Structure 1
């Protein structure tokens, strides 16, 4: 079996966050958020940029399995503990 060496970034100064954002296509929106914050000195004034960036990132997240309360797996049994005593080796 051959083990491949870990791939290294072309440039050791590459920012891993920027690399991830390039893959998602959200890098330019990230820059817009940074530019707005640098210009206004107040992230609260950059909500349009922040929301656009968040929407882009959310499109690229892996969906998580979500259950509604009615879909939650449940453990039910018709036996009482006294019914189980003979079934379990101690």
Structure 2
């Protein structure tokens, strides 16, 4: 899972139209899911980016610095970074 990307549909919005972009995604094996890396590649320079990650387990401690560096390498500023721990595995959630 480490820094892999996946194909995504073309965006229907222009990210250049926004000052701040909020990205949220699940954590897989301590790293943001591959969709995060695909989205990060699309970021225009100069944007403020807020990040949040959801997990039932350990969160993103082992990948936090690399994740921030990925966003900063695009010329963006990470203004918020949050790990949200649900403590509930997806198969155990009630509908």
TM-score over 0.5 (shorter chain): no
Based on CA coordinates, which of the two structures has the bigger radius of gyration? 1
- Decide which structure has greater strand share: 2
Shorter-chain TM-score: which interval?
under 0.3
Q: Which has the higher contact order (CA 8 A, sep 6+)?
A: 2
TM-score by length of 2: 0.25
TM-score by length of 1: 0.26
- Decide which structure has greater helix share: 1
